[in-house]
Amino acid sequence: MDPSNLEKQRQPEEPRFLDFPHLPEGTMRNGKLALNRYSSTLTHGHNFPGAQAMLYAAGVPDRDAMKNSPQVGVASVWWEGNPCNMHLLGLGKEIKRVLQKDGMIAWQYNTIGVSDGITMGGEGMRFSLQTREIIADSLETMTCAQHHDACIAIPGCDKNMPGVIMAFARHNRPSIMVYGGTNRPGYSETLKKPINISTCFEAAGAFNYQKLKSPEEGKYTPDEIMEDLERHACPSAGACSGMYTANTMSTAIEAMGFSLPNSSAMPADSPEKMRECAKAAAAIRVCMEQNITPRKLLTKASFENALVMMMILGGSTNAVLHLLAMAGTAGVDLTLDDFQRVSNKIPFIADLAPSGKFLMADLFEIGGIPSVMKILVAANLLNGSIPTVTGKTLAENIESFPSLPQDQTIIRPLSNPIKATGHIEILRGNLAPAGAVAKITGKEGLKFTGKAMVFNKEHELDAALNAGKIPHGENLVLVVRYEGPKGGPGMPEQLKASAAIMGAGLTNIALITDGRYSGASHGFIVGHICPEAAVGGPVAVVQDGDVITIDAGTNRIDMNVSDEEIASRLKNWKAPRMPVTRGVLAKYARLVGDASHGAMTDLF
């Protein structure tokens, strides 16, 4: 594949989705605004008697409700085996209860979401990113096939949030996102400190390099410390508690106007989260009455807000992938250059994990995301005039929230940032002609040069780390390739490796890949290298010992190999055999686009 062709991939300016018959906006019935714009196709007259018979069987109480009540889908990404998602069915039931109390017909359903924390470092992680498409496909399918008039979606884990927004953009009916919330921080008796899921992965690196010790010298063995961390890192329902991918996406989406104020900061098990469910049921009526539809909210201005929140809070590199896909689905012109432009002007001010000390529950206690937004709107860094699902502007939504306390230390003043510009850097060079995404907070420095140590799959690096074979001393750039969207397939996150490097204290290491990193990853890391190795990108021909330079100051990533030598190596390169040829991952690999355009599966 010619790498230059990748830049020619574009979304249509006006995406075309199947148009369904519906009542015109503002249609009145019996002196009231008709909110059943889509479901009335099935429920008026007798053109669809079988549909009505089945709807009565499913719970529609009487003829008046059949003819006049709007039908709202309540879509949760629920399943029992993951703390991020296990409580979402209950949140959906509360939303359904209040919708029915308000005279609407609510249909609860769910889709699937892979647990990143459980699959991390294993073959199951290859299925994670493609669930974003499954979620979007599921919500689009149910909303359109069943003629729902509106949708309230309840996501929990990383891919869940962009998946539901992509579905909203496709069906374009009044919609609200209720974030499932974050979990509470755990506490380790062996380490005598608060812990979270990231602690487990970093401790594994220390364990393998014989560096895992308790402050109470000799009181606990490394095995006992690991068992303590595994037992107590996730003490409640909810998504991982730092500024990892789930919280990055939930805060970005709140800044775009798709959720109620502070949805992204509320702990999953808090009374406030249950109250939010009731408020969302009321807000969806406002959306239907005012015809507030997703593509009216998915604008360049709202995406700009999302990028600002991402930079301010130190969000995950995965947000680049997901926001590009959301914008591509809605036909909004968003590119890698927009991320760099915003990063150049927005400071990084949040002392939040993974690079900082605090968690989302801590931020909630001092006012949450609306209190942070107030600072940004006042400073003209965040657009407070965008519309939202409440029927009010973003600025109106946050007006009643308190300002951050003067003595808090989680959010630094704009005048005294952790880093004067954003932590997300878009790199290009002879290793990544079509772009790469780096997460550089400044704590690791802005430039790194080292010799390449090449691994053709993530498991090869994991095995080397488990065996303690990555040495201290000489600067090394660990290259993990054939883990991109097509080559993985599935572009797995590589938190196991990045966290192990941090836990082992391998400060002489940079890590680069055509795959992804978890939002919990930190250190000198570069992902999303494009073109990926599997399609013949230059990363496919890096050799052990090649000197690689990563420079956030000039936004470059290069190897000290001439263009002629790269061309010669590529001429002799042969594409590896596809790892799978059947099943969902094979289908995904055939459909998926490149990372620099969001790894979308409908980019035609």
Within 8 A by CB and 6+ apart from 129, the residues are: 159, 321, 485, 490, 491, 492, 516, 599
Within 8 A by CB and 6+ apart from 522, the residues are: 354, 355, 439, 441, 498, 502
Give the whole-angstrom CA distance, residue 483 versus residue 501. Answer: 19
| Closest alpha carbon to 88 in 185, 148, 175, 177 | 177
Q: Which of 236, 241, 518, 596 is catalytic?
A: 518
**Which sign, positive or negative, has the C-alpha torsion 114, 118, 120, 124?**
negative
Per-residue tokens: 309:
């929140």
Task: Give catalytic status of residue 175 as yes or no.
Answer: no
Distances in Å between the Cα of 204 and the Cα atoms of 212, 280, 502, 517, 565 are 8, 41, 10, 17, 39
Give the whole-angstrom CA distance, residue 203 versus residue 226. Answer: 7
The helix/strand/coil state of 419 is: strand
What is the b/e burial string over 508-546, where b = at least 16 CB atoms within 10 angstroms of the residue's CB? bbbbbbbbbbbbbbbbbbbbbbbbbbbbbbbbbbbeeeb
Contact 163, 135 (CB under 8 A): yes
Give the whole-angstrom CA distance, residue 85 versus residue 223. Answer: 29
Instruction: For 140, list phi and psi in degrees, rounded to 5.
Output: -60, -45
Contact 71, 148 (CB under 8 A): yes
> Which residue is listed with tokens 């308190």?
402
Rg from Cα positions in the chain: 24
Helix, strand, coil share (%) of the chain residues, nearest 5: 40, 15, 45
Residue 49: how many other CB atoms lie within 10 Å: 10
What is the β-pairing status of strands 447-455 and 547-551?
A: antiparallel
151 Rama sector, left if φ>0, alpha if ψ -120 to 50, beta otherwise:
beta
The helix/strand/coil state of 254 is: helix
Give the whole-angstrom CA distance, residue 188 versus residue 75. Answer: 36
Contact 483, 186 (CB under 8 A): no
Contact 202, 499 (CB under 8 A): yes
Query: Which residue numbers are catalytic?
Result: 518
